[in-house]
Amino acid sequence: MKSRRLPLWLAISVSLCVFLLLNWLERRQPLRKQTEPKLRREARNIAVSALSAAAVQLTEIPLVLALMRYLLPRRWGILPHLALPLWAELPAALLLMDYTYYLWHVLLHRVPLLWRFHVVHHADLDMDASTALRFHFGEVLLTLPWRIGQVVLIGLTPLTYSAWQIAFLLSIMFHHSDVALPLEWERRLNRFIVTPRMHGIHHSIARRETNSNWSSGLTLWDWLHGTLRLNVPQREITIGVAAWRTLDSVTLPKIIELPFKPLPPVWRLPENGEPAPYAADSSPHQLLT
Ligand SMILES: [Zn+2]
C-alpha cells in the first residue's frame, strides 16, 4: 500500500475541478482590482507552469521514486523509525513536509540565486489561482536537492509523497486565488490555514510585506517564527515586484529569460524609490478586509 502512489488521474481531476471552481468564484466575487485581462494572464501562467510540470515529470518524480524504492526496505528517515499506523503516518508526513517547505520558501527569498528564479512567481501583476502554478522551471530544478533531503529525512513513501503533492497543489491554488471570502469566515479559517488575504500580503511590492507570511499550508509556522503579518487591507496592497510595473516588462519571453539576466534593484520602483509598506496600527495578527 505505502509503496503505491495515488493515481495520476485522481490528482489531475481533483486539481482541475478545484481550479475551475476557484476560477468561477474569482469572476463572481473578486478580492482585488485586476490590472491585466484575466484570460491573457492565465494563458501566460499556464504556459510557465507547463514548462515546470514537464521539469517535475522528467526529473523530480523519477528521481524521488527511485530513491524511495531504495530507502523503503531500509527504513530510513523519521517516520519509518516511528513505525506509525497509516492513519497517523499520513498527517505526520504532511505536517513535516509543510514545515520543511516553509523553511525552503524562506530560502527562496533569502538566497540570491534562488530568489532570481522565485521572483518570476512574484512578478505577476495580479494574483489568482493561476499564479499558484506559475513557477519557473529553474526553480523546480533548484528545489531538487531540498526535495531529496525531505524524502530522506522524513522517510516519505510513494503514498505520502503523492498525497502531499495533491494537498500542496490544492492549498496553493486556494490561497493564491482572488476570491473575496466573507471576512469573518476567512478569519476563522486563517487561524489554521493560509488564506487568500494572508497570502496577498506576501505578494505585495513592499519589502516588509513580502518578507512575511511564508507558510503555504498551516498558518502555524509563520506564527511560531514571528513572520505572521495580517493587518494590511487588500486595497492597500500593490501585487507584484516593484521593479516591473508595466505589462510590457512581464511578457512570457521576458519572465522566462529573467533569471538569466542581471536583476535590477527589485525592491525599487522604476523611477520612485522603494514603496513604503502600509503603516498599520492594529495588531499584526488581525486579518483586515
Ligand atoms: Zn514567495
Could you tell me the distance, in angstroms and rounded to a whole number, from the CA of residue 203 to the centre of ligand 1? Answer: 7
Separation CA 118–CA 250 (nearest Å): 14
pLDDT at 201: 97
Half-sphere exposure of 94 (CA within 13 A, CB side): 18
Q: What is the mean pLDDT of the chain?
A: 95
Q: Which residue has the cell 526496505?
A: 73
- The CA-atom distances, in angstroms, between 30 and each of 25, 127, 224, 229, 266 are 7, 11, 31, 22, 28
Report pLDDT digits (tens) over 178-223: 999 999 999 999 999 999 999 999 999 999 999 999 999 999 999 9
Could you tell me the distance, in angstroms and rounded to a whole number, from the CA of residue 106 to the centre of ligand 1? Answer: 8
Q: Do 101 and 186 form a contact (C-beta atoms < 8 A)?
A: no
pLDDT score of 1 more than 80? no
Could you tell me the distance, in angstroms and rounded to a whole number, from the CA of residue 75 to the centre of ligand 1? Answer: 34
pLDDT at 104: 98
Could you tell me the distance, in angstroms and rounded to a whole number, from the CA of residue 96 to the centre of ligand 1? Answer: 19
Beta bridge partners of 204: 239
Helices (H), strands (E): how many in the chain? 13, 0
Separation CA 76–CA 155 (nearest Å): 6
Report pLDDT digits (tens) over 150-174: 999 999 999 999 999 999 999 999 9
Could you tell me the distance, in angstroms and rounded to a whole number, from the CA of residue 115 to the centre of ligand 1? Answer: 9
Could you tell me the distance, in angstroms and rounded to a whole number, from the CA of residue 122 to the centre of ligand 1? Answer: 7
pLDDT at 279: 83
Could you tell me the distance, in angstroms and rounded to a whole number, from the CA of residue 152 to the centre of ligand 1? Answer: 25
Q: Where are any strands of DSSP class E within the chain? A: none
Average pLDDT on 252-269 reads: 96
Separation CA 140–CA 143 (nearest Å): 5
Separation CA 54–CA 167 (nearest Å): 20
pLDDT at 283: 86
Could you tell me the distance, in angstroms and rounded to a whole number, from the CA of residue 159 to the centre of ligand 1? Answer: 27
The rounded radius of gyration (Å) of the Cα atoms in the chain is 19
Could you tell me the distance, in angstroms and rounded to a whole number, from the CA of residue 64 to the centre of ligand 1? Answer: 24
